[in-house]
Structure 1
Amino acid sequence: MGSASPSYKGHRYPVEVISHCVWLYFRFPLSFREVEELMLRRGVIVSYETVRRWCAKFGQAYANGLRSRRPRPGDKWHVDEVFIKINGELKYLWRAVDSDGNVLDVFVQNRRDKAAARRFFHRLMKKTRAVPRVVVTDKLRSYGAAHHEVMPSVEHRAHRGLNNRAGNSHQPTRQRERAMKGFRSVGGVQRFLSAFSGISPHFRPRRHLMTASDHRAEMTVRFTIWDQITGAASRPTTA
Structure 2
Amino acid sequence: MDETYIKLKGEWLYLYQAVDKEGKTVDFLLTRKRNKLAAHKFLPKPITNNGCPNVINIDKSGANREAIRTYNKRRLKRIRIRQCKYLNNRVEGDHRFIKWRTQGMLGFKSLESASRTSSGIEIVRMIRKEQVGCLMATYFKTFCSLAA
TM-score (normalizing by structure 2): 0.79
Q: Which has the larger radius of gyration?
A: 1
Asked if 1:191 corresponds to 2:116, the answer is: yes
Whichever residue aligns with residue 148 of structure 1, its letter is: R
Is the 1:105–1:194 contact (alpha carbons within 8 Å) kept by the matching residues of 2? Answer: no
Runs of 4+ off more than 4 Å: 222-225
Q: Distance in 1 between matches of 2:140 and 2:106?
A: 31
Partner of 1:130: 51
> How far is 1:196 from its partner?
2.0
Whichever residue aligns with residue 170 of structure 1, its letter is: H
SS across alignment from 2:86 = helix
What's the Cα RMSD here?
A: 2.4
Partner of 2:98: 173
**CA 1:223–1:111 in 2, change beyond 3 Å: closer, same or farther?**
same
Whichever residue aligns with residue 178 of structure 1, its letter is: Q
Q: Distance in 1 between matches of 2:122 and 2:136?
A: 16
Identity, % of aligned positions: 26
> How far is 1:226 from its partner?
3.5
Q: Deviations over 1:33-52 (max 9, x none)?
A: xxxxxxxxxxxxxxxxxxxx
SS across alignment from 2:88 = helix
**CA 1:141–1:189 in 2, change beyond 3 Å: closer, same or farther?**
same
Picking from 21, 33, 37, the partner of 1:99 is 21
Whichever residue aligns with residue 96 of structure 1, its letter is: A
Q: Deviations over 1:151-182 (max 9, x none)?
A: 35011101212101111100111111123232
Q: Distance in 2 between matches of 1:90 and 1:228?
A: 31
Picking from 62, 67, 70, the partner of 1:149 is 70
Q: Point out the structure with the larger strand share.
A: 2
**CA 1:82–1:229 in 2, change beyond 3 Å: closer, same or farther?**
closer
Is the 1:87–1:184 contact (alpha carbons within 8 Å) kept by the matching residues of 2? Answer: yes
Q: Distance in 1 between matches of 2:43 and 2:88?
A: 16
SS across alignment from 2:138 = helix
Q: How does 1:205-220 map to 2 (within 5 A)?
A: none
Q: Deviations over 1:101-147 (max 9, x none)?
A: 11111211121111111111023223x24211211100111122111
Q: Distance in 1 between matches of 2:140 and 2:54?
A: 31
Is the 2:53–2:79 contact (alpha carbons within 8 Å) kept by the matching residues of 1? Answer: yes
Aligned pair count reads 136
Is the 2:58–2:83 contact (alpha carbons within 8 Å) kept by the matching residues of 1? Answer: yes
Whichever residue aligns with residue 117 of structure 2, its letter is: F
> How far is 1:228 from its partner?
8.5
